[in-house]
Structure 1
Amino acid sequence: MTGICDGRVVVVTGAGRGLGRAHALAFAAEGARVVVNDLGVGLDGTPDPDSPAFLVAEEIRAAGGEAVAHGGDIATPDGAASLVHTALETYGRLDTLVNNAGFLRDRMLVNLEEDDWDAVLRVHLKGHFLPLKHAAAHWRAETKAGRASVARIVNTSSGAGLSGSVGQGNYSAAKAGIVGLTLVAAAELARYGVQVNAIAPAARTRMTEQTFADTMAVPSDGFDAMAPENVSPLVVWLGSAECAGVTGRVFEAEGGRITVMEGWRPGPTADRGARWTPAEAGETARKLLGEAETPAPVYGA
């Protein structure tokens, strides 16, 4: 297989199903050798008796590609380290990391248990940080050894992280944190030849099947707008050398639509050069809000 990722070694976390599986297959179709990571757990993070990572790796090999399965927990230091080690030991290099693993434990805030908060933050946010850290350490070592990298990291945020989502306080916080992590990583790792971007995908997966239940049927024109495969072409491009110069950006991807998301930036402002009284601050804030753009509504509000 040849394509825009020919010869690259790509790690995809949470690649046993849904978006991760679609990404892994799409990278392989473009010539990449793929490390397919999946812990093999249920939607709520409990163990699953199947081995989806192995099945996806087998699917790639059956189509003529190269892939190896990795079943480690990437939200642990040992699991993240072994993920990078698997790529290096099997293929001798690492070029792209796609952080995708995650699950849901949705509750309204007043019903949200600390364990559910910790579990979701652990898998989504820590599960992005640790693979990123270990991959970045490898690329830094390569740079110091005089071997330039053309490395890429693609993180997975969500519209819930950009706008909020009722009943998903833990998930929204984790996904917002991933955006912040992406911005910092892009700035810190540029010196090592690493570009870091994030996507906010909308697709039908195990995590979103209830949300998109009314879009299960494929329309008569044959284009399934909610298929996870629609998101993967952008991820593959961001994971390739073709996206040179693109870093620290967030893209929303849904169906046939790609949007560059524009995050927090200064809007209307007022400066009196001295301390406000509370009444003056309130009056000024209301005036500025009247001049500002209306924020996107929270999902489910």
Structure 2
Amino acid sequence: MKIQKSFSKEPKGILYLVPTPIGNLADMTFRGVETLKEVDLIASEDTRNTQKLLNHFEIKVPQKSLHEHNYKERIPEIIALLKQGKKIAQVSDAGMPSISDPGHELVEACIAADLTVVSLPGATAGMTALIASGLLPQPFYFHGFLPRKKNIQKETLTTLNDQTATLIFYESPYRLKATLTNILEVFGDRQVVVCRELTKLFEEYLRGSASEIITYLTEHQLKGEICLMIAGNNQVDEELPVFEGSLKEQVEKIIQTGETSKEAIKLVAKQQNLKKQDVYKAYHEG
């Protein structure tokens, strides 16, 4: 077990995980800007992309690239600097580091080395799109990108079919129709929300059944970043507790588990395939 005191007064190196805007630069937080100005180094997924952000906010801190192709050799360098007391910010091209972007391996290495990791709140596409989607916001299941190959993608979707939570995926606009076709085949014709170009000038939400949106995509080619949300499976039967005895005794036993009498009557009626009125009468008059 390890305990991290993020803001102790002892001078030490700190890794800051700093979210960056997913489109609109005005979404950068004050704390995010100040942190980027105060650190000694910025570890960036793409230094050219991040430099545009730094120029906009007049940030002069040097960068070092950190991405999926160089993290094995780069992480030891960053750990060494943190052990020297340096403060380093890690950013991805857009949104939260580690969420479908580089960052997790560096966090793991810092924790293993007993170094402090501080996460800043900020923009993330999945949550931003979800709350405006109209689908149930909780529970939700964030998956990120699905596999590209059809058979592997369908296998992955099959494992998610019983999820009752709203599902959140990221997808390329060029693969969206094929992915929705697989979703229709595996999940059935559920409600779908497609959000594109989130926070940007051409932000757009498409809300409808999977089949409706597939039909729309046969005539329209979407562009930009895509967040794909699917309603959870509401056909999954909950496993009901099994109680024996008279209807009244069954209701009483369920009440003992913490349920209200109303909910207990409903459960017994469903389990015994009876009308709620019949169970209600048996409970109160039995």
TM-score, normalization by structure 1? 0.32
TM-score, normalization by structure 2? 0.34
Name the larger-Rg structure: 2
